[in-house]
Amino acid sequence: MQISSRFTLAVHIFACIDTFKDEYKVTSDFLAGSTNVNPVVIRKLLGQLKAAGLVEVARGTGGASAAKPLNEITLLDVYYAVECVENGELFHFHENPNTSCPVGRNIHRALDDRLFRVQNAMERELASITLEDVKQDIQNAIV
């Protein structure tokens, strides 16, 4: 199971917005060129990010911009904005284990709490990283 690529695409979008904001109008077509993803997908992501209050999008060819400073947007904010997991659950448990089987009867008891802790640890880590951190790493790599 993988987290949707929407997450990394959204982070890529923010990196482009910040990197090119003074040189270009950062439109969905422009972002599609950097990500190699269809502009329709980019527009959908921009819509999700806008609904979460993370980007501002000017109609037409006005372009996109960050709605707040990058040091105030965490990877967890982006993760939640683009709905990377269903119902907020990273791990989707199979619905009906066989309760006649000793493993099926006890699998939830053995895994539920552990998987919950794994998801919480991942979310804490995402919350500790800002888009400013990502921007700095990209700038360091460019130089």
The predicted-structure confidence for 30-50, as pLDDT tens digits, reads as follows 999 999 999 999 999 999 999
Asked whether residue 26 is assigned to any structural domain, the reply reads: yes
Asked whether residue 1 is assigned to any structural domain, the reply reads: no
Asked whether residue 19 is assigned to any structural domain, the reply reads: yes
pLDDT of residue 87: 72
Q: How many residues does the chain have?
A: 143
How many Å is the maximal CA-CA distance in the chain?
65
pLDDT of residue 77: 97
More confident residue, 111 or 3: 111
Burial, 121: exposed, middle or buried (Cβ in 10 Å; 0-12, 13-18, 19+)?
exposed
Q: Which two tokens stand for residue 63?
A: 């372009």
Q: What is the pTM of this model?
A: 0.87
pLDDT in tens, 75-105: 999 999 998 777 777 887 788 899 999 999 9
Work out how many domains the chain is built from and give that number.
1
129 vs 127: CA distance, rounded Å: 6
The CATH number linked to 23 is 1.10.10.10
- Return the sign of the alpha-carbon dihedral for residues 9, 12, 14, 16: negative
